[in-house]
Amino acid sequence: DGGITQSPKYLFRKEGQNVTLSCEQNLNHDAMYWYRQDPGQGLRLIYYSQIVNDFQKGDIAEGYSVSREKKESFPLTVTSAQKNPTAFYLCASSQGLIAEAFFGQGTRLTVV
Amino acid sequence: GIQVEQSPPDLILQEGANSTLRCNFSDSVNNLQWFHQNPWGQLINLFYIPSGTKQNGRLSATTVATERYSLLYISSSQTTDSGVYFCAVDPYGGSQGNLIFGKGTKLSVKP
């Protein structure tokens, strides 16, 4: 089936550790995005990438890093510099500018 | 930056009732989408509707771009309609692909 796959579904991190969240899409979309959702809130953009080997910071990029080495993959690393990483993380993709965005099922990250 | 306001914040309906959810935005937009977030957190695409009216089964949406609002209509609601409904906009002239989300309307449909 075509879609966006995020893994893992649940992730626990000890303080001071880096963790990487996976996002893979087989929709042949050019653009990919990472959003963060906190309880009772809407989504906020962390990073986005319009093409391979290029990405841009969103509104809340501090403490996060990404890479885009392949069109279908856009992993997000939550570093130890992120002060409050416990949240629900959603990956999305779209065909291009101003196009309809589609979302994965999300990864719930908890710091223990 | 652009502001996106959704109303009402919470809505409780009896099964079979109709409802209207509203999304106001403070500036021109390239794109507007409605999503349903299910209890497991997944965002389901409902409508991609920068302007005009669309219908899909019991759901329909209207965006009046010149007046900066969009409406989502749910008719004959079912318990499976429960969840949070988000409106998201891509501001005209904003960062590419940066969807700005409202805080959502939490809908509970009682049997």
In three-state secondary structure terms, B15 is coil
Task: Spell out a b/e string for B39-69, using b for 16 or more CB atoms within 10 Å of the CB, else e.
Answer: eebbbeebbbbbeeeeeeeebbbbbebeebb
Q: How many whole angstroms separate alpha carbon A103 and alpha carbon A63? A: 22
B31 touches chain A (CB under 8 A): yes
Contact between B97 and B3 (Cβ < 8 Å): no
Residue B93 is predicted with a pLDDT of 65
Work out how many CB contacts closer than 8 A connect A with B.
64
Looking at the predicted structure, is the pLDDT value of residue A24 above 70?
A: yes
Ramachandran category for residue B96: left, alpha or beta (phi over 0 → left; psi -120 to 50 → alpha) = beta
Cβ separation of A103 and B48 shorter than 8 Å? Answer: no
pLDDT in tens, A53-64: 999 999 899 999
Cβ separation of B104 and A31 shorter than 8 Å? Answer: no
pLDDT in tens, B41-99: 999 999 999 999 999 999 999 999 999 999 999 999 999 999 999 999 988 766 566 78
> Residue ranges of the alpha helices (H) in chain A?
none
Residue B94 is predicted with a pLDDT of 60
Looking at the predicted structure, is the pLDDT value of residue A18 above 90?
A: yes
**Interface of chain A against chain B, CB under 8 Å?**
31, 33, 37, 40-45, 48, 50, 56, 58-59, 88, 90, 92, 94, 97-106, 108
Contact between B32 and B46 (Cβ < 8 Å): no
Question: Hey, what amino acid is at B77?
Answer: S
Instruction: For the beta carbon of residue A47, count every other beta carbon within 10 angstroms.
Output: 22
Burial of residue A82, with CB atoms counted within 10 A of its CB: 0-12 exposed, 13-18 middle, 19 or more buried: buried
Q: How many whole angstroms separate alpha carbon A50 and alpha carbon B37? A: 25
pLDDT in tens, B16-43: 999 999 999 999 988 999 999 998 899 9
Cβ separation of A43 and B86 shorter than 8 Å? Answer: yes
Cβ separation of A42 and B96 shorter than 8 Å? Answer: no
